[in-house]
Structure 1
Amino acid sequence: MSYALTHLRDLLAPGFDDILDVRSPGEFADDHIPGALNLPVLDDAERALVGTIYKQESAFRARKVGGALVAKRAGANIEACLLDKPGSYRPLVYCWRGGMRSGAFATILRQVGWRAETLEGGYKSFRRAVISLLYAPPDEAPPLLERLVVLDGNTGTAKTELLRRMATRGAQVLDLEGLARHRGSLFGALASGQPSQKSFDTEIAMQLVAFDPHRPVLVEAESSRIGHLAVPGVIWALMRQAPRIRVGAGLAHRGAYLAQAYADLAADRDRLSETIGLLRPYHPAERILGWHALAAAGQMADLARELVLHHYDPKYARQRSRDVQPELGSLELSGFDDAALEAAAQDIMELAEQSPARLSPR
């Protein structure tokens, strides 16, 4: 029995007890349906072996070898992970394209007595749904984010922290930097590294379909790339059209805030020095040397102020000169203490409620 995915919303409350991804660990790591459990019926080496046999020998021999491996691993998966499941257990099983791996595993589960179903088309059908949502041509794009609002502001104005606080207050927030595991700037890489582009797309798509389309959705102003990841085309087009709320703060406050927010980078002097070096094509040699000296001396707040004053603020000013989006309002932070940030978060939410509904780029 197969389950047809007609829209990504179908996965929000499909009535299944578990979603079981039986692809190899490498396939699962690249991307998977959020919340899925990885119970591989072939590991990465076994999958490669079966593929080689299929190409170099015959499809029949590949099916024989694959079938034996799948049967062996299916039993181990049941013993290790599923023995405590009741008779009413209803899992959704998927593999790459809804073929042998998911079909064989689901058959075994049904023989046990469980109500297993396979995802029609497998992971590929899920990926197609994500692509149709995020990368459709403008004239075919589905209605999305009818009340998108962009939170704009120069570097060091706590935009990410403000979005986090608004989310805890119940606002609909699309945290692209959080999903990308990157802080957005040249200095923004995190030790944890970034997900794959496919995984980034998946997380964005599943958040979008969970949002109430009648309420505002707040997103931080970004470039078209966050680290090595591209913001999906439909999202980027909507951000370029969306109304903005601008937040500002004094240079001294911003420098101190950035020194704290980037403490992990400050602690890694080699990485900090290497990143400063990447700015050589854009600034005089004396300025780069001065920034290196501040970093070496541990004067991180001073370094942050210098970077903001001479690199990031001029960069944002050039970008804004090309902006055509309407503004819903602006506010100036008097500081970054808890009370100031909470008050600002509330003010931004109230301004966002004034955003009009609009059409997606069709």
Structure 2
Amino acid sequence: MSHKPTTVAELGEFTVLIDVRSPAEFALDHIPGAINCPVLDDEERRVVGTTYVQVSAFEARKIGGAMVARNIARHLDEQFRDKPRDWRPLVYCWRGGMRSGSFVNWLRLVGWDAQQLKGGYKAWRAHVIEQIAQRAPALDLRVLCGPTGSAKTRVLQALAAQGEQVLDLEDLAAHRGSVLGAVPGRPQPSQKAFETQLAHRLAALDPARRVWVEAESRRIGRITVPEPLLQRLRESPVVEIAAPPDARLAYLLRDYAWLGDDRPALADKLDGLRELLPRDVLAQWREWALAGALAPLFEALMARHYDPLYARSQGRHLAGLPNAHRVASDDLSDAGIQSLAGHIASLP
């Protein structure tokens, strides 16, 4: 039972991944599948850090050592008491230092073949960045575009259900990519957590098959699309959904009906457009929002904001747009979306 630093490439050889960082660090991002067993909680980590800065490293280690010992004992008693002798955990902290080293030492004293991740979370983070940089440029992307209300997200979902490979960036970012794009009940992840999930998704894709993705700007809410993927997206072939305004409006009224449930919040979202619209136009839109009048509001948003924005941005950023396959549909009902996805999937 040798004790050697373990690399990211060996993650799959272990029974469990144990992240011993504080809950706040774990919530920001972590290796997929890891469990959080902090050796210092958020407050304890603050106390130790303050002591290190204001008193001395020795006093910080003395205080922290007692905290770490108590927490490790609690984890051993509450979470690992039933683990068999062949249980094999891999432990990591921020950079493969004292926190994970202490945990590994205690687990090995018990008799388990516990190992420490070399470089800790920082090594994982470097791996994520490297994987995105390597895999994104090799993707055989097909970019789905169309003005707001063209049901692009639902078409992506329908394509996935029909067996096509799909990369749903808005789902990973928990945002629909517009001023009204926040997803109810789903706060956006951190940038690091988004990139971890993106790398995980890219690893699951077959590079020999095409991958459908929605046209995105550089930012999805507060998430930034990594440059290697953004560049690949912008240079890839394009399929454009062409749907008339009345079909798009009907779709938006169904897909965003939940916005009428909190009218003051909807009105506040519109304030994000204050630099782009005349004051009287924004006042009228806020009035519609507060009254729950979604039809005139969405119609005006399409005509005055979304469609002009689409015309400016897509032509500037999508190199393949002049040669795009244009797929027309005047039916964006559930059945119409299924039919549209089938047509798109049949394209060469």
Q: Give the TM-score normalised by structure 2.
A: 0.91
- Output the CA distance in 1 between the equivalents of 2:70 and 2:223: 38
Aligned to 1:232: 226
Aligned to 1:339: 335
- Output the CA distance in 1 between the equivalents of 2:70 and 2:345: 55
- Output the CA distance in 2 between the equivalents of 1:132 and 1:274: 39
**Deviations, residues 305-355 of structure 1 (Å, cap 9, x unaligned):** 22112211111112233242254522122322232212222222333xx4x
Aligned to 2:90: 92
- Output the CA distance in 2 between the equivalents of 1:320 and 1:281: 21
Matched residue SS, 2:33:
coil
- In structure 2, list runs of 5 or more residues that go unmatched: none
Of 274-283 and 308-317, deviating more is 274-283
Aligned to 1:174: 167
- Does the CA-based 8 Å contact 1:254-1:305 persist in structure 2? no
Q: Does 1:20 align with 2:38?
A: no
- Output the CA distance in 2 between the equivalents of 1:82 and 1:50: 26
> Aligned letter for 1:253?
A
- Output the CA distance in 1 between the equivalents of 2:40 and 2:76: 14
Matched residue SS, 1:336:
coil
Question: How far did 1:236 drift?
Answer: 1.1
Q: Does 1:74 align with 2:72?
A: yes
**Deviations, residues 56-104 of structure 1 (Å, cap 9, x unaligned):** 3333333333222212111111222222222221121110111111111
Judging changes above 3 Å, is the alpha-carbon distance between structure 1 residues 283 and 68 closer, same or farther for their aligned structure 2 residues? closer
Question: How far did 1:129 drift?
Answer: 1.5
- Does the CA-based 8 Å contact 1:144-1:213 persist in structure 2? no
Question: How far did 1:147 drift?
Answer: 0.3
Question: How far did 1:2 drift?
Answer: 2.2
How many residue pairs were aligned?
Answer: 342
Aligned to 1:358: none
- Does the CA-based 8 Å contact 1:145-1:217 persist in structure 2? no
Of 21-30 and 296-305, deviating more is 296-305
Which of 182, 190, 208 is residue 196 of structure 1 equivalent to? 190
Q: Does 1:116 align with 2:120?
A: no
Runs of 4+ in 1 over 6 A off after TM superposition: none
> Aligned letter for 2:5?
S
Aligned to 1:357: none
- Does the CA-based 8 Å contact 2:166-2:211 persist in structure 1? yes
- Does the CA-based 8 Å contact 1:172-1:217 persist in structure 2? yes
- Output the CA distance in 1 between the equivalents of 2:90 and 2:192: 21
- Output the CA distance in 2 between the equivalents of 1:286 and 1:347: 43
Matched residue SS, 1:222:
coil
- Output the CA distance in 2 between the equivalents of 1:313 and 1:4: 49
Which of 291, 295, 299 is residue 289 of structure 2 equivalent to? 295
Matched residue SS, 1:281:
coil
Higher helix share: 2
- In structure 1, list runs of 5 or more residues that go unmatched: 355-362
RMSD of aligned Cα (Å): 2.1
Which of 8, 25, 34 is residue 5 of structure 1 equivalent to? 8
> Aligned letter for 1:190?
V
Question: How far did 1:158 drift?
Answer: 1.0
**Deviations, residues 220-278 of structure 1 (Å, cap 9, x unaligned):** 11110111111111111111111111112221121121122222322211121122233
Matches within 5 A, 1:118-137: 118-134=116-132
Which of 135, 146, 152 is residue 139 of structure 2 equivalent to? 146
